[in-house]
Structure 1
Amino acid sequence: MAAKTMSAVQYEKYGGGAAGLKHVEVPVPSPKKDEMLIKVEAASINPVDWKIQMGKLRPFMPRKFPFTPVIDVAGEVLELGPGVSTFKVGEKILGLLDFTNGGGLAEYAVAPKTIIAKRPPNMSPAEAAGLPAAGLTALQSLKSAGVKFDGTSKSSNILITAASGGVGHFAVQLAKQAGLHVTTTCGARNIELVKNLGADEALDYKTPEGAALKSPSGVKYDYVVHCAPAVPWSVFEPILSDHGKVVDVSPNMTNIFTSLIKKVTFAKKKLVPLFLVPKEGELEFLVNLAEEGKLKTLIDSKHPLSKAEDAWAKSIEGHATGKIIVEM
C-alpha cells in the first residue's frame, strides 16, 4: 500500500527556473478509470518541462498551479484503476504520464495505461526513465522523414544534429538500425561517443564545416533530423538531396511558417515540424530494441529528488550528453 502523503517537487507560477521549484508534501494521488498508481523509481527531465515553466505553452499549460512537472518515469505498479487489465500490481514499468497533468517529480504518480510498457529486467530504472519521450521523438522524427524499420529502407544519407543529446543519441542508434549512412554534429568532446553509437561521420558543431552542416565525405542528405537550436532554411537548402527532407524536433514559428510555404508551393525539398504524438506499439518497439541490446540510454547525470533543482538547472544550461535523471 502507498503512503497517504508523498514528497514532490512543484512550481507555483511561471518563471523562476530551478529557484522556482519547491519541495512539498502532498497527498498520494488515486488512479481513476484506465489509470494506475505507480511508485516512481526514476524520472527524466526533458526541455519541454522547463519550457512549460517559462510560459512557452501559456495559457494552455500548466492547467493549474501549483504544478508537479515531468512525464518520463520508470517505477512499479502499486494499484490498478478500473479498466486496467494488461498490467499487474508489482510489475516494473516505464512510460509517459499524462502531458497536461505531469506528476513525475514525486514519489508516486498516476499513469494512463496507454503509453506504458513493461520494463525488461536488463534495464535499470534510470535507463528506462530516459527512454520514453526522447526515444519516441527520435523514432517519430525518422518515420516522418520517410525512414522504414522493416528492412525496406533504401540506402540513404541522414544528418542528425545535436547527436549526443537526449533525442539525438537515440536517433543515431535508430538510423543505424534502419541501415542509413549517418552524419552527425556534436561538441568536440563527444565525437568518439557518437561514432561508438553508430555515426559514420561526426562534425564538431563549432567548426566552420560543422556550422555549415557539410558532410566530410561531400554527400547530400536525404534526411535531416534537427535536434539543435533553430537555424535558417538557407543553411539546410544547399546540403539536401533533390528531394531531401528536414524534420525539426523543436520547431519555432519561423520554421513552422517555412514548412507551410514548402507544402503549398509543392517544393521538392521539405521542412517538417515534429510534434510528439505517441502511437500504439511504438514504445514497445523501442523497449524490445533495448532488451535486445540494440538501443541504449546514455545517462548524463543522476540526481536525488531532494536535489531535483540541480537536475532542472543542468537541463536549462543545455549541452547534456544523454539524459538527466532524477531518482526517488
Structure 2
Amino acid sequence: MASKLMHVVQYSSYGKGAANLQHAEIPIPTPKKGEVLVKVEAVGINPIDYKIQGGFLRPFVPKKFPHVPGSDIAGEVVELGYGVTKFKKGDKIVAMLGSATGGGLAEYAVAKEEMTVIKPYEVSAVECAGLGTPALTAYQCLITAGVRLDKTGPPMNVLVTAASGGVGHYAVQLAKLGNTFVTATCGARNAAFVRSLGADEILDYKTPEGQALISPSGRKYDAVIHCSTGMSWSTFNNVLSLRGKVVDITPSPSALATFAMKKLSCSKKQLIPLLVSSKAEDLQFLVKLMKEKKLRTVVDSRYHLSKAEDAWAKCIEGHAVGKIIVVA
C-alpha cells in the first residue's frame, strides 16, 4: 500500500487562509512501530488548525512544509505497524493525531495506537470525528473547575461562554451531567439551540447584561468555562462566587499575567489557563457517553475532502454552530 498515492489537502507556507490550501497526490504513509494506518472517513476542523497555518506556533509547528493539517479523525484500520495489539484490520476507530503532527485532511492517516480507540457501531464516523480536541477541551475544563460529571459533587453554578461553538456545545452538555445550573452565552439566533443542549438560562452576548456576564437569575458563578476571547478579569471578578474559577481555553498574555498574580496572592478566585492533554482514556470516556446518548456532536456543516478549503474558510469565519466536518 505504501507505494500507492492518496489525495491530501496541504499548505506549503504560513498564512493566506483557505487560499493557501493545495490539493495534492502523495504516497500513502507506512505505519511505524506502535502505529496504525487509517482509511479516513471523517475529520473535524478546529480553530487551532487555521491558527497554526497563520503562524500561531511559528517556527516550531508545523515541523516541516508541506503540512497536511487535521488532527481529529474517524475511520477504518487498514494496516498495522509492528507491535500493535489493540487493533486489527477492519476495526472502526476514533483517533487524535495531534495538531502539531496533523495528517487528517487526507484519504489515509497514521495514528498512534495509544491515542486511538474503538468506535461504537451505534455512533457515526462524522459524529466521532467532531469529538477529539474540542470535546476533550470541554471535559478537561470542567474537571479542572471541579465539576463532577456523575452528580456526586456539590451544586454548582456554571457559565459557558460561546456556548454554540465547537468546545462550547460540548461543555454545556457535559456540565449538565453534573449537579449544575448552567448559564450559557450565545447570539440570540442560537438561543433555542443552546437551550436544547441543556442550558438552564441564556445570555445574549450582544446585550449589556451579556457583555457583563450577569446571570438572568442573579446567580454568581462557581465555574466559568471560557470559550470566547476579549474578556477582562474585572468582568469575571464581578460575577464569580467567593471561590469561583475561570478556566480559559485561549488565554491572552493579560490572562496569563492574571493567573500568575492570583497564584502569588493566594486569591480564592482563580483564573486557570487550560493546556489540553491528549489522553486516550478521556477520549474513550467521551465516546462511551456518545454511545449512551448522553453526549452528541452537532454538525454545523460537512464538506467533501475535494472541497476542504470551503470548510477551512467556514471555520475562519467563526460563526459555526457546533462542528465543521470534512468527509473523505
TM-score range (shorter-chain normalised) is over 0.9
- Partner residue, 1:101: 101
Deviation at 1:152, TM superposition (A): 2.1
2: distance between equivalents of 1:52 and 1:98? 12
* CA-to-aligned-CA distance 1:14-40 (integer Å, 9 cap, x gap): 001000000000000110011100000
**Residue type of the alignment partner of 1:120:** P
1: distance between equivalents of 2:146 and 2:230? 22
Question: How many corresponding residue pairs?
Answer: 328
Question: Does 1:268 pair with 2:268?
Answer: yes
Write the mapping of 1:204-215 to structure 2, written as runs, cut at 5 A.
204-215=204-215
Question: Which piece of structure 1 moves more, 276-285 or 287-296?
Answer: 276-285
Write the mapping of 1:84-95 to structure 2, written as runs, cut at 5 A.
84-95=84-95
2: distance between equivalents of 1:141 and 1:58? 26
Write the mapping of 1:149-164 to structure 2, written as runs, cut at 5 A.
149-164=149-164
SS of the residue 2:147 aligns to: coil
Deviation at 1:230, TM superposition (A): 2.8
User: Alignment RMSD, CA only?
Assistant: 1.1
TM-score between the two structures when normalised by the length of structure 2: 0.98
Write the mapping of 1:229-248 to structure 2, written as runs, cut at 5 A.
229-248=229-248
- Partner residue, 1:38: 38
**Residue type of the alignment partner of 1:125:** A
**Residue type of the alignment partner of 2:144:** S
- Partner residue, 1:122: 122
Question: Does 1:287 pair with 2:293?
Answer: no
Deviation at 1:256, TM superposition (A): 1.2
Write the mapping of 1:1-328 to structure 2, written as runs, cut at 5 A.
4-328=4-328
1: distance between equivalents of 2:286 and 2:302? 22
1: distance between equivalents of 2:181 and 2:124? 30
1: distance between equivalents of 2:79 and 2:31? 7
Maintained 8 Å contact 1:134/1:166: yes
1: distance between equivalents of 2:189 and 2:247? 25
SS of the residue 1:26 aligns to: strand
**Residue type of the alignment partner of 1:289:** L
2: distance between equivalents of 1:143 and 1:125? 26
TM-score between the two structures when normalised by the length of structure 1: 0.98
SS of the residue 2:217 aligns to: coil
Deviation at 1:98, TM superposition (A): 3.4
1: distance between equivalents of 2:258 and 2:269? 11
* CA-to-aligned-CA distance 1:265-301 (integer Å, 9 cap, x gap): 1011000001111224111111111001110000000
**Residue type of the alignment partner of 1:79:** E
